[in-house]
Every structure is written in structure tokens, then in C-alpha cells.
Structure 1
Amino acid sequence: MAAALLFWLAALAGAQTAPAPGGAPAAARGPRLVIGLDGAEASGDIGVGIQIVIVMTLLTLAPSLIMLMTSFTRIVIVLGLVRTALGVANAPANQIVIGLSLFLTLFIMAPVFQRANENALQPYLAGTITSTEALKAAAEPAREFMLRQTRARDLEFFLQLGRFPPTRVNELPMRVIVPAFVVSELQTAFQMGFLLFMPFLVIDLLVSSVLMSLGMMMMPPAIVSLPFKILLFVVVDGWYLVVRSLVESFRM
């Protein structure tokens, strides 16, 4: 999102400072639409036209980037498993789960976004670095964040699949880091979900045993155990514990 804003501002600046062809005043010619690949003011910079294409591409891929390159994946899976463990299908609703996951992601990723703004966006707007250098500087904080959460086993697995030679950590390409990060996040999320399921599973087993001993074969155990599971979750302040565990599980 920061890179998209960066290139959009650059495109607007290039469009406003573009000279009028032929020396004629702009007011005399009337409105025109000019699409070109020029606009690179520094050596190694990207033209305004290409920047607009990159902006549109980033806007299209923004949902995938948010889900796969941030803490969103782990958070939304764990919150969904909590709802499943409780046995309630629509409480909380999907919109609440997604919204809470998104704001927790913004909270956790705030230092990463701040570093990208200080090291990439602000120097680029000041004209001290080119757009290519800004892209590399903006990707570095996200790269470090993903590497902190990724298991070495997953990195080695994708290095073997890609037939890469022995590579240092600071030289790993993003096409290796991103899938390894996603696999590690899925593994961690399901491990946390398993631990969340255990106390609710014990309640289901106890309720089923009691109903069997009383001869109430036709009574669905889920209906009886649901109030007890909700009571347990409220007594231990479950949402606070879940959110706290999620936030503290990330290595910043």
C-alpha cells in the first residue's frame, strides 16, 4: 500500500511538471490525454507511465499481499478456529472476525510500515533516492519481518525445490521467502488452534459421558455443552487471552 501511494504521488508530480509540447500555452490547446513512458528524471529511475502500471498492479494484488505477507494469515485462522471450537457458527460474524484480524494486523505491522515510510517513501518524495531504490528499501522491513517468523526448515525446503545453491539469509529471494513464510504461518496457526480446541473437547466428552450415563441417548451433546463452553470462555476472559497470545507470538 505504501509503495502504491509512492508511485501514485510520483505519477501525479510528473504529470503536473510535464512541459507543454510545441511551446503553446496549455490554456489555448484545451484538455488532452497524453500517455507515454517518459518521465524518469534520474538515471535508473522508472518512467511515469511504468509507475502507473505498477500502481494498478499493486492495487490489484493488495489483498493477496496483505493476507500472505503480513500477520493476517495466522490471526484470521486462529480466530476462526476459536469460533469453531466454541461450536457457534455465526458468533462472532465473519465481518467481525475479518475486521478484528485486519486491525490486529495493522497494530502488529505498524513498526514495519513506519520503517518503510522512513527509509523509502519519505526519501523518495524528497528526491534523494530513485523509485527503484525506494522499492528495495520498502521491501527490506517486510523481508526481515517474514524471516523472523519463518522456520529454517521451510526455507531450506523451498531452496531445494528451486534448486538454489547454498544461499545466505540476507541474499534469499522473495520468491523463496514468501511461500516459506506462508507455510510457517499455517503451521503455527494450526498448532495454536489445536491447543485452543483441547479444553472445549474435554467439555464435550464430559457432557457426552453424563448424558450416556443418564440414558439420554437422543439428546444432542452439542446443545448441552455449548452453554458450558461459552461460560468457560467468559470466565477465563478468553478473547483477551487469545488476542494476547496472538500478538505475543510474533517475533518483532
Structure 2
Amino acid sequence: MVVAILKRGFPWLALIAGLCLPALAQADLPGIPAFTVEPGENGTEEYSVTLQILALMTALTFLPAMLMMMTSFTRIIVVFAILRQALGLQATPSNQILLGLALFLSIFIMKPVLEEANRVGLQPYLQEEVTSLEAVELASQPFRKFMLEQTREDDLALFMRIADVQYETPQDVSFWILMPAFVTSELKTAFQIGFILFIPFLIIDMVVASVLMAMGMMMLSPIIISLPFKIMLFVLVDGWALIMGTLAASYGI
């Protein structure tokens, strides 16, 4: 019955819509200035709030990439992954715990940079002292300084050679060159720290394997025997605090 009523009423609804559409099209309805660009001082342009919100929402999709390319997150999470592999623990601590720990340790290390970016970029923009584009440029300067301090000169020279560009000073280097050079340096440093972490646990594995072979227990996996000793060693030396302090100290904190 309902279907029959809809079938009978649909032609009338279509007729009413056809009669109303021309009237709505000719009506003088006020427009919404959603996408506007206003000229500013010194030849700059200021975008409307709608465009700024659209740009902000688009930029949020790149937030994970920016977290890895512009902060200490990459070095920390790589060191944690190598440490878990050295201990012989496949899923403990879980990935969620390591990611959360790396995230908040990154915030702790990046706190001076974030505070400086807020002071020179965000606060002047909220007080309407600078435009949105100027605020982005000002807020990027503390991150640029941090990345330059942690980037090796040979890595920076490598990507400058690949891009076939030259800069007079490191401060003039483009973000598109600085970012991959920074990540390359972070990976190199992370693997150096991971190598140092691996040595004591590797020695324990070798000792346990040698003892088991001398006793003729070749069918018993050395990993099963060495795992408690590695965990005990890591706990006795207060491993987590030592690693946290080492990672923070590697950034000069």
C-alpha cells in the first residue's frame, strides 16, 4: 500500500518541484562569501576563514608524515623497535605502547620548539598581528633550526647534490631538501644507538649458546634460556630510564 501511494504521489511531487525551481532560481537570495581573497599590505593576500579552515583540515591529513619528518619521533621509535628485537620479545611491549611512549617522549623533547613556534607564529596570528601565511612561515623557523642542528652536513650535501642546487648558508636550505636529509640523519643515529644496545644482549645469547653446546643440549633453543637473563639484565641496569635519558641527551636535553 505504501509503495502504491508513493507511486501515485511521485508525479505530483515532481510537478511541484518543477514549478518551484524557476522561482527559486530567479529569487534574489543573499550569497555566502565562503571563498574570498582580500588584498593585504605589502602586496600580500589574506584568505577567508572558510579557505583557512579548508587548508587546515587538508594539512591535518599530513600530520603523521610531519610528525615523522620534522620531530624526534623517528629516532625514538626505531630505537624502541631494535631494543625489543634485541631482547627477543616479539610482541612485548606491544606496538601501541611503543608508539604512545615514543609520541609523548617526542612531545617532551620537542617542547622548547613547540613553545617557540607558538610564541612567534601562533600567538601573533591569534592576535591578528600577522596573516595566516606569515604565521606559517614564522612558526616553521623553530622547526627548521631544530632540524638543521640534528642533520649531518654530508646528508644535507647529498640531497643538495641530487637536487642540483646550491645554497649560501644552511638557513637558506629548502624544506624539501632539509626534510629527507633530516630523516636520513635520524635513521643513521637510531641505528648507531641500536647497535650499542644490541651488543650486551648478543653476548648473553652467545654465552648461553656456548654453554648449551658444551653440555650437549643442542636440541634446546638458546633463546628460551637466554631470554630470562636478558630481561634480568635489562631490569637490573634500569634499562628503560637509561634509554629514555640517552635519547633525550642525544638531542641536547
| Kept after mapping to 1: 8 A contact 2:156/2:177 | yes
Matches within 5 A, 1:1-252: 34=32, 36-38=34-36, 40=38, 42-43=40-41, 44-48=44-48, 49-251=50-252
Amino acid at match of 1:37: F
Q: Deviations over 1:68-107 (max 9, x none)?
A: 2100000001011111100011111111100000000110
2:203 and 2:117 map into 1 onto residues whose CA distance is 46
Length-normalised TM-score, structure 2: 0.84
TM-score by length of 1: 0.84
RMSD of the TM alignment (CA)? 1.8
Query: When the two structures are aligned, how many residues end up with a matched partner?
Result: 223
- Mark the runs of 5 or more structure 1 residues left unpaired by the alignment: 1-28
Contact conserved, 1:149 with 1:251, CA < 8 A, in 2?
no
Corresponding residue number in structure 1 for 2:24? none
Q: Secondary structure in 2 aligned to 1:128?
A: coil
For the residue of structure 2 that corresponds to 1:205, the secondary structure is: helix
Residue 128 of structure 1 deviates from its aligned partner by 1.2
Give the AA of the match of 1:92: P
CA contact (8 A) 1:68 1:182 kept: yes
C-alpha change, 1:140 and 1:166, in structure 2 (3 Å) is: closer
> SS where residue 32 of structure 2 aligns?
coil
**Percent identity over the alignment?**
47
Following superposition, the deviation at residue 166 of structure 1 comes to 4.1
Answer whether contact 1:87 1:226 (CA < 8 A) is retained. Answer: yes
Which one-letter code corresponds to 2:47 in the other structure? G
Q: What is the CA-CA distance between 1:165 and the residue it aligns to?
A: 2.5
Q: Which moved more, 1:36-45 or 1:47-56?
A: 36-45
Q: 1:176 corresponds to which letter in structure 2?
A: I
Contact kept, 8 Å, 2:37 with 2:47, in 1: the verdict is: yes
**Contact (CA 8 Å) 1:45, 1:131: kept in 2 or not?**
no
CA contact (8 A) 2:201 2:230 kept: yes
How far 1:125 moved relative to its partner? Answer: 1.1
Deviates more, 1:35-44 or 1:116-125: 35-44
Paired residues of 1:38 and 1:47 also in contact (CA < 8 A): yes
Taking a change above 3 Å as real, the CA distance of residues 231 and 55 of structure 1, as seen in their structure-2 partners, is same
Residue in 2 aligned with 1:18? none
RCO higher in structure (CA 8 A, sep ≥6):
1
- Structure with higher Rg: it is 2
Distance 1:121 1:78 in 2: 32
CA deviation string 1:97-142 (max 9, x = no partner): 0000000011011111111111011111111111121111000000
Kindly state the Cα deviation for residue 57 of structure 1 after the two structures are TM-superposed: 1.7
Task: Give the drift of 1:151.
Answer: 0.1
Please say if residues 120 and 134 of structure 1, whose CA atoms lie closer than 8 Å, have aligned partners that are also in contact. yes
- Amino acid paired to 1:47: Y
Contact 2:77 2:102 in 1 (8 A): yes
- Counterpart CA distance in 2 for 1:165 and 1:118 is 31
Bigger mean CA offset, 203-212 vs 168-177: 168-177
* 1:46 alignment partner, SS class: strand
Contact 2:86–2:197 (Cα < 8 Å) also in 1: yes
Looking at structure 2, the residues matched to 142 and 46 of structure 1 have their Cα atoms a distance apart, in angstroms, of 24
The 8 Å contact of residues 83 and 194 in structure 2, kept in 1 or not, is answered as yes
Asked if the contact 2:87–2:227 (Cα under 8 Å) also holds between the matched residues in 1, the reply is yes
SS in 2 for 1:127: coil
- Structure 2 partner of 1:19: none
